[in-house]
Amino acid sequence: MPAVIVCPACDLAHRRTPEPVRGRTQCARCRAPLQRPHTGSVDAAIAVALSACVLLFLSNAYPLVVMHVNGSSRHTTLIGAALGLYRQHYATLAALVILTTVIAPMLQVAALLYVLIPLRHRRRAPGLNAVLRILTRMRLWSFIEVFMLGSLVALVRLAKFSDIVPGIALWSCALLMLALASLSSMTSPGQLWRWIEQSGE
Amino acid sequence: MRTQATGRSLGLLLCLDCHSIVRDAKLPHSRCPRCDARLHVRKPHSLAVTTWLVIAAAVLYVPANVLPVMDTHTIFDDENDTIMSGVLVLLHSGSWPIAVLVFIASIVVPLLKILVLAVLLYSVWRRSPRRRLQRSGLFRMVEFIGRWSMLDIYAISLLATLVQVRSFASIIVGWGAWAFGAVVVLTLVAARTFDERLLWDDA
C-alpha cells in the first residue's frame, strides 16, 4: 500500500490514514470524499446483484402501465417505450432510452456477478480488466431512477383522459432503483479492487 | 501561500478507473499496472473537447426549447407542445408539484449545466485563482444533477407509445425532443471530459 493517497478531484497528496470506521474522510483542500469505510462483503454484494437480476427480469417481462380508454386497452413494457420512439423514426432517441434503461442496468449487474462469483472462491474471472471497464462505463449510463420519475410524469399526464393501471414492471422498477443504488455504493471501484487484491494473496 | 504537494509535483499518477496510485509512469503511452487503463496526468485535451461539447449543447438548446416535443392529435383538437408548454399543461391540470419537477429537470437543469460549465471553462482558461472551492462545488453539483434532465425524454417516450388510439387520440414525437436528448447527452459527456483538477492546478 503506498503511503500517499491523491485526491481524484484536485490532485492534492495526503498521507494515508486508516480507513474511517463510519462516515468518510474528505480532501483537505477541495472536500471531495477520499476514503470510505470497509463495509459489506462479497456475499452481500452477490445477494443484492441477484435480486437486481430478478427485478430486471420482472421489469422487462411485464407491462409498465395499462391504459383503458374508450373501451379498449393499451399497455407498454420498458422496451416497448423505446420501440415507440423507433416506430416514429427517432432511432437515436430510442437507442438512448434502451441504453439507459435496459442495456446499461443489465450489463452492470451481469458484469458485477461475473466478477464477484469467482471472487467468492478466491479466483479472478478471466478478462477481469475489460469487464470492470464495461462496468464503470455502464454505471455512468444507467438511469433507472430518472426513468421512474419520468414514468410518474407520464402517468400524471395520461390520468387526465384515461384510466391508468400501474403494471408489475413499474413496482419492480422502483425496487430495482433501490437495488442498483445500494449495489453501486457497495461495489465502488476502490472496494472491488480491495476484494480482488485480497483474493490474490 | 505555501505550495502544496500534489500528485503531479510528487510524480504520482492516479488511475481514474481503479484509483490506484502509479509511480514513475512512462507517459504518454503508459497503462495502469493494476487495471490496464490508459494513464494521463490530466484528461487529454480536456479544455478543448469540453468547450466544443458545451458550445454544441448551447446551440441545440435553442431548437430543444422552441420546436415542439410532442404533437397531440385528439378528436377535439390538435396541440403542439414545447417543453415549456408541457409544463404549463401540467400546471393547469392541477398537478403543480409535477409541473415544478418537470420545470426544474427540463428547463433549469440543462441551462444551469451549460452556464456552469461555460463559467468553469472560462475560469480555467483565465487561470483564475478565485473561489476554487465554490467552483469545485458547482462542478460536483452539475455532475450530480446531470442525469435528471433525461426525465422528459422518458415521459415523452411513454406517452408517444401509449397514446396511439386510432381516431381518438395520438401523440407524435417532435424534433424538439431529439434536440433536447442531444443537449442532455452532450452536457453529460461534457461533464465527464472536463478534468476538475484543472480548477486547482496552479493553486
Q: What is the pLDDT of residues B144-197, one digit of tens each?
A: 999 999 999 999 999 999 888 766 778 889 999 999 999 999 999 999 999 999
pLDDT of residue A201: 56
> Span A9-13, mean pLDDT?
90
Question: CB pairs below 8 Å between A and B: how many?
Answer: 192
From the list B17, B151, B162, the residue facing A158 with the nearest CB is: B162
Q: Are residues B12 and B79 in the same domain?
A: no
Is residue B37 less than 8 Å (CB to CB) from chain A? yes
Do residues A13 and A97 share a domain?
Answer: no
User: Who's near A90: CB < 8 A, 6+ residues apart?
Assistant: B173, B177, B178
Q: Does A25 have pLDDT greater than 90?
A: no
Residue-wise pLDDT for A133-161, tens only, equals 999 999 999 999 999 999 999 998 888 77
B104–A contact, CB cutoff 8 A: no
Whether pLDDT at B1 is above 50: no
**Do A27 and A49 fall within a single domain?**
no
Considering CB atoms only, which of B19, B102, B136 is closest to A153? Answer: B102
Calculate the CA dihedral of residues A59, A47, A137, A132 and round it to 10 degrees: -140
**Shared-domain flag, residues A93 and A17:** no
What's the structural domain count of chain A? 2
How close is the nearest chain B Cα to the Cα of A170, in Å?
12
* Cell reading at A134: 464495461
Q: Is the ipTM of this complex over 0.95?
A: no
Q: Do residue B20 and residue B112 come from a single domain? A: no
Q: Are B36 and A129 a contacting pair at CB < 8 A? A: yes
More reliable by pLDDT, A2 or B6? B6
Interface check B31 vs A, CB under 8 A: no
In angstroms, the CA A87 to CA A179 distance is 32
Is there a single domain that holds both residue B136 and residue B54?
yes
Q: What are phi and psi of B31, to 5 degrees?
A: -125, 155
B162-177: per-residue pLDDT in tens? 888 766 778 889 999 9
Highest mean pLDDT among A121-130, B71-80, B109-118: B109-118
Mean pLDDT across chain B, nearest whole number?
89
Tell me, yes or no, whether B34 and B62 share the same domain. Answer: no
Owning domain of residue B99: 45-200
pLDDT at A2 over 60: yes
Q: Are residues B143 and B60 in the same domain?
A: yes
Determine whether the interchain pair B150/A93 forms a contact, defined as Cβ–Cβ distance below 8 Å: no
pLDDT at A4 over 80: yes
Same-domain pairing of B29 and B70: no
Shared domain for B35 and B70, answered yes or no, is no
**CATH code for position B54:** 1.20.140
Assign A1 a pLDDT band (cuts: 50, 70, 90). Answer: low
A96, A160, A190 member nearest B185 (Cβ)? A96
Q: Residue A106: its pLDDT value, please?
A: 96
A51 Cα to chain B: minimum distance (Å): 24
Domain of A74, in residue numbers: 41-199
B178:A83 CB<8 A:
no
Question: Which SS3 state, helix, strand or coil, does residue A11 take?
Answer: coil
DSSP result, A78-121: HHHHHHHHHHTT-HHHHHHHHIIIIIHHHHHHHHHHHHHHHHHT
Spacing of C-alpha B9 from chain mean position: 31
**Do residues A114 and A75 both lie within one domain?**
yes
Between A162 and B60, residue with greater pLDDT: B60
